[in-house]
């Protein structure tokens, strides 16, 4: 939990700096690259979290992996290393992208279905979510066969569960209470 709060603070600081330097878009691209690279490379993630590996080694590795980053993004590396918090780099990168999207009026909506969404249904879901939130929405589709049918829609901190498994669980609770 404390790591998450720290990541949010660092992400807010980097976003504030990037906005004042008018390079928030480039920094967002860097943060997405960093987050994706760390998520796809378990060795890199382990190295960043390993307290035995020297900070100079971590910094050299990051600069070798990400040679063309923006000045602000490189500054984040230096700041996290000097504060001995390089282990939360991935969290900071993810939080930065979330804060950047929120700043630009974008929101991520997750829709979980039992089968993959068709393009037609995806368009309908996007239109409905946009009408509900009045924001630009990016849709992330998740397939989970355990919900049996229907869908679960998450937008921000709101969730709408119209799954068959949820309806069956409600029926089960009603029968066990009576």
Q: How far apart are CA 36 and CA 79, in angstroms?
A: 21
The per-residue pLDDT for 106 is 84
Strands lying side by side in the sheet with 136-143: 136-143, 106-113, 151-155, 158-161
CATH number of 2-102: 1.10.520.20
Mean pLDDT, residues 18-42 taken together: 94
8 Å CB contact between 135 and 106:
yes
Please name every residue paired with 138 in a beta bridge, in sequence order, or none if there are none: 108
Which pLDDT band holds residue 2 (cuts at 50, 70, 90)? low
Secondary structure letter of residue 147 according to DSSP: G
The per-residue pLDDT for 49 is 92
Q: What is the pTM of this model?
A: 0.71
CA 120 to chain centre: 26
H/E/C letters for each residue in 67-103?
Answer: CCCCHHHHHHHHHHHHCCCHHHHHHHHHHHHHHHHHH
Q: Is the pLDDT score of 133 beyond 70?
A: yes
3-state secondary structure of 110: strand
Q: Is the pLDDT score of 1 beyond 60?
A: no
8 Å CB contact between 125 and 133:
no
Helix (H) or strand (E) segment spanning residue 9: helix 2-20
Any idea where the domains of the chain sit in the sequence? 2-102, 107-177
Query: Residue 135 is encoded by which pair of tokens?
Result: 């924001």
């Amino acid at each position: 939990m404390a790591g998450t709060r720290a990541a949010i603070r660092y992400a807010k600081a980097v976003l504030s700096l990037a906005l004042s330097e008018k390079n928030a878009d480039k920094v967002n691209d860097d943060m997405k690259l960093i987050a994706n690279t760390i998520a796809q490379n378990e060795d890199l993630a382990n190295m960043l979290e390993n307290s035995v590996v020297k900070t100079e080694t971590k910094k050299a590795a990051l600069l070798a992996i990400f040679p063309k980053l923006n000045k602000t993004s490189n500054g984040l590396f230096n700041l996290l290393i000097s504060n001995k918090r390089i282990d939360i780099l991935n969290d900071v990168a993810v939080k930065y992208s979330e804060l950047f999207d929120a700043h630009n009026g974008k929101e991520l909506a997750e829709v979980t279905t039992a089968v993959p969404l068709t393009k037609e249904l995806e368009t309908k879901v996007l239109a409905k979510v946009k009408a509900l939130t009045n924001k630009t929405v990016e849709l992330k589709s998740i397939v989970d066969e355990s919900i049996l049918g229907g869908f679960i829609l998450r937008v921000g901190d709101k969730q709408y569960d119209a799954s068959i498994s949820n309806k069956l669980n409600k029926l089960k609770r009603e029968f066990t209470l009576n």
